[in-house]
Chain A
């Protein structure tokens, strides 16, 4: 196949799944038990996205940084980063008390096994963060934007509490992801397939996120699509997965 043909055939969107229109889901987690189920899925089927996010945000997190996670859910990501960066301070905020209950359970367990790191979580309304301007070096969220009611009111808050020269990084699903990739993830999502598709349908496309950022004056923030994910960053960054060293075929044949 020629490369021009490849380009012509590249787009696989809008053909298989009902993803044309965004279908908001609100916050689907009501009970602590539902939150624990989500927690288990982050530990297993979402482990690779979690590690990808850690790789992206890790270099910004230490030393001596104040790090804020918006929508920390069960707290796993901040707990893991806190253990890696013990000289930084991590704060997780969530507006769902059921999630905070599970985040506290995870924090207790992390302490029991001496996992280390400085992490605390608390309740907050994301559109009115309880901090003065320029309070944090790093502000991030992981797979949370798709549950936000009014992102146009939240995004400027994230910019406000982030210090000049700091980093805001938001990681979520991209509704305009390659449909082949969506099929592939669905096949391996097992019992989490419904939650995955509901979140995907509630997520933003690259274009919609770009419009949203422009609308609230964050024109200099970047939006990139990586696999099935959307990465929003207050500064341009290399989001690419590392896919390993070249195989020997490059040595043998070229």
Chain B
């Protein structure tokens, strides 16, 4: 029954905490979650650490067509607003370039997300990227990703991106089936054919790493259509690949279309799980390498191997030949490795962007007009965040590190001065007993397939008491701040010093 299907889909999707054996499906991407009001002055009041390398995230909150299902901070593209926004971004970049924490740091990777960063015109992209290159230090093999849709990129934009060293593009294809794109409300934006054309255009341009995004859980999606999409993916010149859950937001157009039967129902939980399993086995049987449970990269190339890229067995008993990629051995996966693996610094630029600097996770002002005003006044637009003390850092390295399926004990010991297994012995033993983790002398590793399915349960097991049963923060968390009893800043007990 359609109504049952939709109700289940909604209730499954936004529920944010499930204890094993229920499967948690809130996508863990940030930590900590107990955000408080926080200003840039507070973050940099005491210099706790000097990052040698860092990553950046630039948020471009514009889309030429806003999808009804998108939870991120975004607006429809408007010319004057876009120009004022780019000016504000440049002011913010200026401020960071003068900040002692960032001035001498080398950027090894970066990410332009949104929104759709390629809604900016070629000249605007040229202006912004050129400005960043001029003000900040980039390493020679810096890997820069930009998100796009199949219709917002053309030869002129590609030329600009390549000129400035952007070498990875993440393309929101979602599916190659036109009826499914119509159910997603993307019929006006792109078709399977236009996506194929764009992928071929990008391939011809010589961009090193093209990643496409798919969705599981789209209304009308069937295992047969999914299998066709996977075949299409493997036939196209696509280097890497990510898949996300499609969430039906309550009260949205899609929600009512589903309820009235105007669109076919979403796949059931069981069908969605089977689609994940089909994806995993099909790709890894073909030699694709796992980055996370939902990100994969093409089979090992000789030039990557020659450059020192390393892999590890996904199934430790050797019963399957599946391999995972050690993201920190490959410059093209540096961003993932930096933000989740090493839990390193990331400078957040733009309205609603998240970053991590000087042991603080922080969020920039999500309201675009307030963001622009603050930058124009010469103030960094940080509004909230949380300080991570040594214990929280140790938690964070497992919460986020295990998203990459494997945490090396020697690397963890070097970073935190303790062994992750010894420090979290009870929790790790419990997860091992449940068949979700395996531990050996080298690493703590997520089991395949069981641990992969429970990846967010595993992450959340390492939340500290202060973060236990809290949802992932979003730019809308600023709503929460207004109602908190404890309005003290996110530095937790550190002395406040005027910067």
Contacts and interface: CB of A to CB of B under 8 A. Distances in A.
Interface of A: 1-2, 5-6, 9-10, 12, 16-18, 43-45, 47-48, 51, 178-181, 183-184, 186-190, 193, 197, 241-250, 252-253
A44 B251 contact: yes
B479 A186 contact: yes
B483 A187 contact: no
B19 A252 contact: no
Contacts of A186: 476, 479-480, 483
Contacts of A193: 479, 482
B450 A43 contact: no
A16 B11 contact: no
Contacts of B269: 244-247
B435 interface: yes
B461 interface: yes
B427 interface: yes
Given A2-B426, A244-B269, A180 B471 contact: yes
A248 B270 contact: yes
B485 interface: yes
B471 A184 contact: yes
B476 A190 contact: yes
7 residue pairs, one from A and one from B, having the closest CB atoms: A44-B251, A244-B8, A180-B469, A184-B471, A187-B476, A247-B273, A248-B273
Interface in B330-386: none
A242 B6 CA distance: 11
B483 A242 contact: no
Contacts of A197: 483
Interface of B: 4, 7-12, 14-17, 19, 21, 23, 34, 249-251, 255, 268-270, 272-274, 277, 426-427, 430, 435, 449-450, 453-454, 461, 465, 468-471, 474, 476-477, 479-480, 482-486
B14 A188 contact: yes
A6 B19 CA distance: 9
A178 B469 contact: yes
Contacts of B476: 186-188, 190
Given A2-B426, A9-B468, A184-B14, A247 B23 contact: yes
Contact of A1 (B16, B274, B427, B474): B427
A1 B471 contact: no
A180 B17 contact: yes
Nearest to A44: B251
Which of B16, B469, B485 has the most C-beta atoms of chain A within 10 angstroms of its own C-beta? Answer: B469
11 contacts: A2-B426, A2-B430, A9-B468, A12-B470, A16-B480, A48-B7, A48-B10, A179-B469, A180-B469, A247-B273, A248-B277
B7 to A, nearest CB: 6
Contacts of B7: 48, 51, 242
A249 B452 CA distance: 10
A17 to B, nearest CB: 5
Contact of B435 (A51, A179, A181, A253): A253
A249 B453 contact: yes
Contacts of A43: 251
Given A1-B427, A2-B430, A180-B469, 12 more contacts: A5-B426, A18-B484, A178-B469, A187-B471, A190-B476, A241-B11, A243-B11, A244-B11, A245-B269, A246-B269, A250-B21, A253-B435
A247 B268 CA distance: 9
B5 to A, nearest CB: 9
Contact of A187 (B12, B251, B480, B482): B480
Which of B251, B272, B476 has the most C-beta atoms of chain A within 10 angstroms of its own C-beta? Answer: B251
Contact of B251 (A10, A17, A45): A45
Contact of B484 (A9, A17, A242): A17
A96 B277 CA distance: 55
B11 A187 contact: no
A41 to B, nearest CB: 9
A178 B479 CA distance: 17
Contacts of A181: 16
Contacts of B11: 48, 241-244
A247 B270 contact: yes
Contacts of B15: 243
Given A180-B469, A188-B14, A243-B11, A45 B479 contact: no
